[in-house]
Copies of this chain bind each other. A is one copy, B any other.
Amino acid sequence: MNKKITLKELAVISNFSVSTISKALSGNREISEETRKKIIAIAKLYNYRPNAAARSLKSQKTKTIGVIIPNILTHYFAKVLVGIEHEASKKGYNIITCISDESYKKEVKSMEMLASGSVDGFLISLSKETQTKGNYDHITSVINNGLPVLMFDRTSNKIHCDKVIINDFDAAYNATKVLLHSSCRIVIFISPISDTNVGLERANGYTQAITDFFNGTVAPLIYNFTDYSQAREDIENILSKKKVDGIITSDELSAIFSMNIAISKGFKIPGDISIIGFTDGILSRNSNPPLTIVNQNETELGKISAANLIKRIENNSKESYTTQIIETNIIYRKSINATIEI
């Protein structure tokens, strides 16, 4: 039961003063080589580790960052989180993860809880409810308190801070074009995230692609949903009534979901219907057929988000905020007919 040892105790043991030990351990050159070595030896012997709370209190730095994400079961966020964790850990930071569960209230509560000295900054992707409400006071208030915030993926231009995103409009535009160029003529856009800026932008990109391709003679076809069992019915209906031959979804799961419905209705993929989704996750790689998707470089996005936030924390710079766009690309698998570069 070798309880935590403190500097003071070490001082008694070693016959040096507390400050000498502190300096020696932090590599301060004021201390002679000789005593430094002695002190380090003793510290190691007693397995001394400076107390994090005391250090935070003194330095006003916690070396931890708060991560607020809507959920963690969606592969997209899980991959982003991996990127964040790796980068943070590499830079000596810990991450406190809060899952908002798409709830405004929980998001606010988490931020307030962490804003009082638990973290040096925030990485956040807004919950659906927050985006619907449009109330961002909890975030601006944190920023005004001097805590850096970086938003990724689900952002808002009502908030001035660093951001890391992809170009959702272009990505959806290009993905839709891929379907059209592989000779799909009735392409539907399916989305479970229509209440996020990300979902909206993707819908817009899709719409624009349809408009451009058909010179405005064909109306876009968009199906938004929130409830999966309702969606099953609806999508079955849509597939049997409209002669859909192309599906683009704003995420990964609903693409797989739609594909399974299509298959169960007897459609061949990609013979009868081509499908393309978002996020290079475990689902799309392991579906049958494997899903063609828009790769958002999720892990990379997480890494860059963490790196940028840490940069801001450590430089405490008044440099103007940046919005970094992560490149996307389409990974061609078997759920569409051909591999066409557009």
Q: Name A's B-contacting residues (CB within 8 A).
A: 1-4, 47, 49-54, 56-57, 62, 64, 71-73, 75, 78-79, 81-82, 85-86, 89, 94-99, 106, 110, 112-118, 141, 144-146, 253, 256-257, 259-260, 263, 282-283, 286-288
Contact = CB atoms under 8 A, between A and B. Distances in A.
B72 A146 contact: no
B85 A79 contact: no
A286 B257 contact: yes
Contact of A53 (B3, B117, B141, B145): B117
Nearest to A54: B57
Given A2-B145, A64-B96, A288 B286 contact: no
A263 B288 contact: yes
B85 A78 contact: no
14 contacts: A1-B144, A3-B146, A4-B116, A47-B141, A49-B112, A49-B115, A49-B117, A50-B116, A72-B78, A73-B78, A73-B82, A94-B96, A283-B283, A287-B288
A311 B257 CA distance: 41
A57 B118 CA distance: 12
A1 B117 CA distance: 16
Given A260-B286, A287-B288, A97 B95 contact: yes
Contacts of A56: 53, 56
A117 B54 contact: yes
Copies in the complex: 2
Contact of A95 (B50, B78, B96): B96
A45 to B, nearest CB: 14
Contact of A117 (B51, B96, B257): B51
Contact of A94 (B1, B4, B75, B113): B113
A25 to B, nearest CB: 13
B94 A114 contact: yes
Contact of A116 (B51, B79, B99, B116): B51
Given A51-B57, A53-B62, 15 more contacts: A3-B145, A49-B115, A53-B117, A64-B118, A72-B85, A73-B82, A73-B282, A85-B97, A89-B106, A94-B98, A94-B118, A97-B97, A253-B282, A259-B288, A288-B288
A14 B214 CA distance: 69
A256 to B, nearest CB: 5
Q: Which 7 pairs across A and B sit closest by C-beta, in order of nearness?
A: A49-B116, A53-B56, A52-B117, A51-B117, A53-B57, A52-B118, A53-B117
A2 B143 CA distance: 10
Nearest to A64: B96
Contacts of A260: 286, 288
A196 to B, nearest CB: 20
